[in-house]
């Protein structure tokens, strides 16, 4: 008789896709930072035991059995004794690009535990935040995560020569996605890019280097967070290799 191999993992729920009438394919980020895709059988049946526990952005303790293509979830428990955080519409809209970026850049079999910690902190913070704060946490999380994955934009210093950019108000800075980020005036003639208000660069730098508490203490408004998100959109598309649909939605939804 074939022996079914089962395993236990703590993971964050990033995405749920319908499979047939009653099942779900769940994309998760394990606490070692690996992407996982599992089938949750019967998860869409009313009162199904999995349905309530596979909430998006929640941390779960999962039991799964090795399958031929996808592994099969056999048990799910909330990782937190208090259960799942509740996400309102704005909070869901802000958590979705973070989840989509992670499901794009993380891979099966590649351990990146720091990304799990960052995602866990981001989802927890977004759940507890106002709409305006959640937007700032989303913008900060995207730049922190893409940077931690190896694609950190140059912001305070020129990507080419390393000279300080000088993040004072009232000027435009050339931002080169291919080149690696902010470009000083001396190097600007040699690279392609687009001009951005230096404030967008300065805020992106703050969102990248400061903790969530420090960022929120400065009460960044929606226009600040949107400026950071707009700067990151082409950066993420280039380095993650595709557009994030949920980021497109966030930038056009008029919820904030």
- Point out which residues bind Zn ion (CB under 5 A): 158, 160-161, 184, 187
Least distance between Zn ion and beta carbon 156 (Å): 12
Least distance between Zn ion and beta carbon 201 (Å): 14
Nearer to Zn ion, 97 or 193 (CB): 193
**Which DSSP string corresponds to 151-205?**
-PPB-SB-TTT--B----SS-EEEEETTTTEEE-TTTGGGS--EEEEHHHHHHHH
Cα–Cα distance for residue pair 92/14, rounded to 1 Å: 12
Nearer to Zn ion, 27 or 160 (CB): 160
Two tokens at 249?
């939605």
Kindly report the number of other CB atoms within 10 A of residue 130's CB atom.
Answer: 12
Cα–Cα distance for residue pair 64/54, rounded to 1 Å: 13
Nearer to Zn ion, 160 or 246 (CB): 160
Nearer to Zn ion, 193 or 220 (CB): 193
Nearer to Zn ion, 51 or 188 (CB): 188
* Cα angle 152-212-28, degrees, rounded to a multiple of 5: 70
Least distance between Zn ion and beta carbon 166 (Å): 11
Question: Can you tell me whether residue 31 is helix, strand or coil?
Answer: coil
Least distance between Zn ion and beta carbon 23 (Å): 54
Nearer to Zn ion, 67 or 166 (CB): 166
Question: Can you tell me whether residue 86 is helix, strand or coil?
Answer: coil
49 in the Ramachandran plot: left (φ > 0), alpha (ψ -120 to 50) or beta?
A: alpha
Nearer to Zn ion, 44 or 171 (CB): 171
Query: Which one, of 56, 101, 57, 130, lies nearest residue 233 by Cα?
Result: 101
Strands 6-19 and 59-65: antiparallel
Least distance between Zn ion and beta carbon 158 (Å): 3
Least distance between Zn ion and beta carbon 163 (Å): 5
Least distance between Zn ion and beta carbon 232 (Å): 21
Contacts of 193 (CB under 8 A, 6+ apart): 174, 175, 176, 177, 178, 179, 183
């Amino acid at each position: 008789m074939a022996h079914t191999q089962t395993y236990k993992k703590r993971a964050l729920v990033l995405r749920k896709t319908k499979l047939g009438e009653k099942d779900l394919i769940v994309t998760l980020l394990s606490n070692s930072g690996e992407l996982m895709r599992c089938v949750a059988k019967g998860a869409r049946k009313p009162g199904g035991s999995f349905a309530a526990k596979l909430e998006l952005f929640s941390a779960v303790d999962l039991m799964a059995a090795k399958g031929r293509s996808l592994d099969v979830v056999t048990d799910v428990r909330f990782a937190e004794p208090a259960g799942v955080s509740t996400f309102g519409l704005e909070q869901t809209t802000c958590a979705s690009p973070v989840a989509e970026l992670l499901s794009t850049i993380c891979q099966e079999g590649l351990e990146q535990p720091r990304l799990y910690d960052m995602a866990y902190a981001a989802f927890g913070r977004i759940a507890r935040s106002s709409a305006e704060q959640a937007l700032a946490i989303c913008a900060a999380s995207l730049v922190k995560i893409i940077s931690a994955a190896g694609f950190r934009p140059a912001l305070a210093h020129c990507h080419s020569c390393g000279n300080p950019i000088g993040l004072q108000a009232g000027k435009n800075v050339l931002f080169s996605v291919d080149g690696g980020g902010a470009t000083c005036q001396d190097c600007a003639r040699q690279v392609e890019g687009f001009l951005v208000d230096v404030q967008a660069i300065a805020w992106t730098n703050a969102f990248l280097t400061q903790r969530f508490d420090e960022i929120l203490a400065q009460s960044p408004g929606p226009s600040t967070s949107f400026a950071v998100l707009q700067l990151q959109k082409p950066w993420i598309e280039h380095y993650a290799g595709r557009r994030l649909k949920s980021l497109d939605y966030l930038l056009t939804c008029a919820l904030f």
